Amino acid sequence: MKQTARIISIHAADTSGVCSMLYELGGMVVVHDASGCNSTYSTHDEPRWYRQDSMIYISALTETDAILGNDEKLIDDVAAAAKDLSPRFIALCGAPVPLLAGTDFPAIAAEVESRTGIPAFGLHTSGMHSYLTGASEALEAVVSRFCTDELPRTDAPSANIIGATPLDFSINGTMESIVGWLNKSGFELVSCMAMGSTLDDIRRASAAHVNLVVSSCGIATAELLRKRFGTPWVAGVPIGKSFSGKLASALKTAAETGECALPCAERDASSSGKKLAIPGETIFSGSLAAAIESDLGAPCRVLCPLEAEDKLLASGDIRILDEDAAAKAFAASSGVIADPMYAPVCPPDVPFYRLPHEAFSGRCYRKESLNLIDRPLPWRF
Tell me the closest approach of the beta carbon of residue 79 to another protein, in angstroms.
Answer: 12
Tell me the closest approach of the beta carbon of residue 132 to another protein, in angstroms.
Answer: 18
Contact flags string 246-285 toward another protein, x per CB under 8 A: ----------------------------------------
Nearer residue to another protein within complex by CB, 3 or 272: 3
Contact flags string 140-179 toward another protein, x per CB under 8 A: ----------------------------------------
Nearer residue to another protein within complex by CB, 115 or 366: 115
Tell me the closest approach of the beta carbon of residue 126 to another protein, in angstroms.
Answer: 11
Tell me the closest approach of the beta carbon of residue 80 to another protein, in angstroms.
Answer: 17
Residues 53-112 within binding reach of another protein (CB under 8 A): 69, 100-104, 106-108, 110-111
Residues 214-233 within binding reach of another protein (CB under 8 A): none
Contact flags string 317-356 toward another protein, x per CB under 8 A: ----------------------------------------
Nearer residue to another protein within complex by CB, 54 or 116: 116
Nearer residue to another protein within complex by CB, 107 or 332: 107
Query: How many residues in total does the chain contain?
Result: 381
Nearer residue to another protein within complex by CB, 73 or 354: 73
Query: What are the residues binding another protein (CB under 8 A)?
Result: 69, 100-104, 106-108, 110-111, 114
